[in-house]
Structure 1
Amino acid sequence: MNTAVELTDAAWLISSYSGGQGECVEVACLPGAVAARDSKNPTGPVLVFAREDWAGFIRGVSADGFRP
C-alpha cells in the first residue's frame, strides 16, 4: 500500500546525542505514524513507519538487540 503522508507541518526532532553536527536521523511524530529522514538531506527521501513498528524498533535498539 502506498499512501501519501503530509509532512509540511511536521515538527522534526534530532537526538541530543548528535552533538549538533547535523549528521543524524531526524524523526517527526505524525498521526498514527513516525517519519524519519537524514538530517544532512532534509529535502530528500523520508521513511514513514507505523507507530507500532517504530516502537518495536526502539525497543530493539534499547535492548541492544541489533548487534551481530
Structure 2
Amino acid sequence: MFDREPSARSWIRSSYSGETSLCVEASFEERRVLVRDSNSKKNAVLSFRHSAWCGFLAGLVDPGADGS
C-alpha cells in the first residue's frame, strides 16, 4: 500500500546511517509500519502490516526464518 506523508508523524532513522543521507526511515503505528526514503520525504510511503515487517526483519538476520 502506498500512502502520502501526513505532517504529524514520528520517524526513526537507523543509527547505522551515520552522516550519510542514504537510508530509510520507519514510523511505527498501531496497525502498521510505514517506511520512506529519507531523501524523498514528500514522495510515497510504503505501508506494511506488523507481521510482514517482522518477517522482513527476521529474513535479514536469518534468510530461512519465517518471522514468527
Normalising by structure 1, we get a TM-score of 0.79
The answer as to whether partners of 2:21 and 2:39 remain within 8 angstroms in 1 is yes
Separation of aligned partners in 2, 1:12 and 1:20: 17
- 1:50 is matched with 49
- 2:15 is matched with 16
> Which range moves more in the overlay, 14-23 or 48-57?
14-23
Aligned residues with identical type, % of pairs:
33
> Relative contact order (C-alpha < 8 Å, sep 6+): which is higher?
2
- 2:6 is matched with 7
Structure 1 residue 8: deviation in Å? Answer: 2.9
Q: 1:31-50, CA deviations, whole angstroms, 9 ceiling, x for partnerless residues?
A: 11000000010111100000
Displacement over 6 Å in runs of 4+: none
What is the total number of aligned residue pairs between the two structures? 64
Give the CA RMSD over aligned residues: 2.4
Say if 2:65 is the partner of 1:39: no
